Amino acid sequence: MGIEDTNRREMLIGMGAGLVALKTGTASAQADPARKLGYAIVGLGSYATRQIMPQFANCKHSRLVALVSGTPEKLARYGAEYGIPARNRYSYASFDTIRDNPEIDIVYVVLPNSLHAEYVVRAAQAGKHVMCEKPMATSVAEARTMIGACRKAKRLLMIGYRSRFEPYNRLAIELARSGHVGPTRIITAEHGFDAKPGQWRLDRPLSGGGSLMDIGIYSLNAARYLAGEEPVQVSAIESTDRTDPRFRTVEDRIDFMLRFPSGVIANCVSSYSSNHNGYRVIGTKGYIDMEPATPYEGQRMMIRKDGQTTPRVLASTGPNQFVGQLDHLSECVKTGRTPIVPGEEGLADMRVIEAIYRAAREGRTVTLDAA
């Protein structure tokens, strides 16, 4: 089974789980399948301007048509750089008038975490499809509100889980789930970096939490996509030096363990004071190792099987993860299909994140109910 088959299969799994593909293709998108759908980017910070916006030049189905920012200088600068006319440059106050702009099909929310819910809901109410950065929200309740608002407006909601469009991660999913190194027994996943002081990530009202919300979510999401099932038990230990001025309101390190229904155990690290980016899927015959696993580029895979350790290099990888992500939502809008990482995928992570925090706080194993 190839990577494309994995993609199709995941889409079917998603639909089988009760996600009925909404007939949400906009009239203009359906009228002209060759038209590139127009994205409005909300929040012109580091990720939006350095990683996402330059990638529209490589997209087949998507183009950048509008910008939303609270800083007029940024609107002028990026507007000029990307040829966005003044009529398509919005402030947060004028944001809701995007409803009158037929050039905008999709709104991409790239704001600090606690602002995601508000802008996703406002985008849906303006009749636009929505891409929202991870973490989807700062709570399960917010995530449900966002999903509800998009459903009510009959608009698609997708979460920016770019690794699901990254060729090596897709291969890892395929190899893990097909038992390439035998049935999976253990997954380890580690993500962390040394957080610089003075940023919104360290301010709970804006971030909703510490390393887990921001970087540990990659360990969690990988454990879930590699296992292909939802955890039923969670335990966790938090280690935070509260005398470190960076960690007055958010956690530094949180180590968590997930148990899946099949018996697979995931041991995960989330840290704001040490540098890691990797995961390993360990089966009965060996392991699949990804290190680094989820950077913007440069993924490396090693496979150990039957006593031999060899690098796995893909001959051709196709569009990069950013292009794959942007074009996937455009294609879903055109065809009315459900994205492979819909709002429900963000909600699934939020449920486990809340359980991890609870397990750490209460010092006990938390059981998760069926979703």
What residues are annotated to the active site? 134, 218
Sign of the dihedral through C-alpha 291, 239, 356, 208: negative
Residues 6+ apart with CB under 8 A from 305: 180, 181, 285, 286
How far apart are CB 43 and ligand NAD at their closest, in Å?
4
Nearer residue to ligand NAD within complex by CB, 185 or 204 = 204
Select from 11, 45, 77, 182 the one that contacts ligand NAD (CB under 6 A). 45
Looking at beta carbons, which residue is closest to ligand NAD? 45
What is the Cα–Cα distance from 106 to 115, expressed in whole angstroms? Answer: 17
The answer to whether residue 112 forms part of the interface with ligand NAD (CB under 6 A) is yes
| Cβ at position 199, least distance to ligand NAD in Å | 6
Please say which residue, 77 or 312, places its beta carbon nearer to ligand NAD: 77
Among 214, 289, 327, 354, binds ligand NAD (CB under 6 A): 214
**For 64, phi and psi rounded to 5 degrees?**
-90, 120
| Site size with ligand NAD, rule: CB under 6 A | 19
Contact between 193 and ligand NAD (CB under 6 A)? Answer: no
Q: How far apart are CA 161 and CA 167, in angstroms?
A: 13
- Of 119 and 256, nearer to ligand NAD (C-beta) is 119
Question: Among residues 107, 111, 258, 269, which is the contact residue for ligand NAD, using CB under 6 A?
Answer: 111
The torsion angles phi and psi of 228, rounded to 5 degrees, stand at 70, 25
Q: Which is nearer to ligand NAD, 162 or 253 (CB)?
A: 162
- Shortest Cβ distance from residue 51 to ligand NAD (Å)? 7
* Contact by Cβ (8 Å): 261, 232: yes
The stretch among 111-119, 174-182, 245-253, 334-342 that binds ligand NAD (CB under 6 A) is 111-119
As measured in angstroms, the least distance from the Cβ of 113 to ligand NAD is 5
- Three-class DSSP category at 4: helix
Strands 276-283 and 265-271: unpaired
Of residues 277 through 306, those in contact with ligand NAD by CB under 6 A are none
Q: Would you give the end-to-end CA distance of the chain in angstroms?
A: 29
- Is 159 a binding residue for ligand NAD by CB under 6 A? The answer is no
According to the binding rule CB under 6 A, does residue 142 interact with ligand NAD? no
Main-chain phi, psi angles of 42, to 5 degrees: -110, 115
The only residue of 29, 37, 44, 355 in contact with ligand NAD, by rule CB under 6 A = 44
Contact call for residue 136 and ligand NAD (CB under 6 A): no
Q: How far apart are CA 153 and CA 120, in angstroms?
A: 11
Q: Give CA separation, 182 vs 2, 142, 265, 305, in Å.
A: 18, 39, 15, 9
Provide the angle, in degrees to the nearest 10, between the axes of the packed helices 217-227 and 167-177. 40
What residues line the site for ligand NAD (CB under 6 A)?
43-48, 70, 110-113, 115, 133-134, 160, 162, 200, 206, 214
